Structure 1
Amino acid sequence: MTISELQVKDIIAIEDGSKLGYIHDLEIDTEKGSILALVIALKGKWLGLFGKQEELVIPWNNIVTIGKDVILVKSVRPKLTHSKEENPDSSQQ
C-alpha cells in the first residue's frame, strides 16, 4: 500500500463512528522503516495568528483495520499543548 492510497481513506473513530478527517502526514521510524503514527489535520480546527491547523496524532497500534475506503481507529485523543497561562490546572509558582 502506498502513502497516496492511505491519504484518500476516511479516518473513522470506532467509539462513536465520527469521521476524523484524512491523513495529513505520517510519523516514521527511519531506522526500522515502519510507520509510528498517522497525523490527521482536523477539519475546521485552526490555531494561532498564521492559521496553523490543529493536528491529531494516532499511534499505529491504535489502528483497528485498514479497509478499502476507511481506516478504523480506537482511543483517539488529541495531543493538546497549552502554556501555563492558558491551563487553569497548572500550579502557579
Structure 2
Amino acid sequence: METSMFAISSLRSMEIIDINTGAKLGYIKDLKVNCEDYKIEAITIPTQKTGWFSKGEDLEIPWDRIKKIGIDVILVDGDETFEK
C-alpha cells in the first residue's frame, strides 16, 4: 500500500467497495485502534437495517483487508467474508 497521509474526516467520506463483487459497502463509521502498537486494527461500517425497530450490527473490516485507498474510495478484499 502506498504511504500517504489522510485525515480521519476525509477517510469517513470515502465509499468502501469490495473489489471481488464491486458491491458498495458504505462509509466508515469508526476505527478500531491498537493503542499499544499505535496501529489501526480495523474499520467499522454500519449495516443495513432490516425493519423499523431492528438495529443492524456493525461490520468490522480488518485493516489488512484494505487493498487501496484512493481519492474518493477505499477498496477492500471481501473474499466472501462480508456477505450481506
TM-score, length of structure 1 as denominator length? 0.72
Write the mapping of 1:10-29 to structure 2, written as runs, cut at 5 A. Answer: 10-29=15-34
Q: Distance in 2 between matches of 1:69 and 1:75?
A: 19
1:67 to 57, 67, 70: 70
SS at match of 2:33: strand
Unaligned runs of 5+ in 1: 79-93
Contact map agreement 1:46 1:54 (CA 8 A) in 2? no
Unaligned runs of 5+ in 2: 1-5
Q: Percent identity?
A: 44
Higher strand share: 1
2:49 to 35, 38, 45: 45
**Structure whose alpha-carbon radius of gyration is higher:** 1
Which stretches of structure 1, 4 residues or more, deviate above 4 A after TM superposition?
A: none
Please report how far the alpha carbon of residue 31 of structure 1 lies from its aligned counterpart in structure 2 after TM superposition: 1.0
Larger RCO (alpha carbons 8 Å, 6+ apart): 2
Please report how far the alpha carbon of residue 70 of structure 1 lies from its aligned counterpart in structure 2 after TM superposition: 0.2
Q: How many residues align?
A: 75
Contact map agreement 1:64 1:72 (CA 8 A) in 2? yes
Q: CA RMSD in A?
A: 1.7
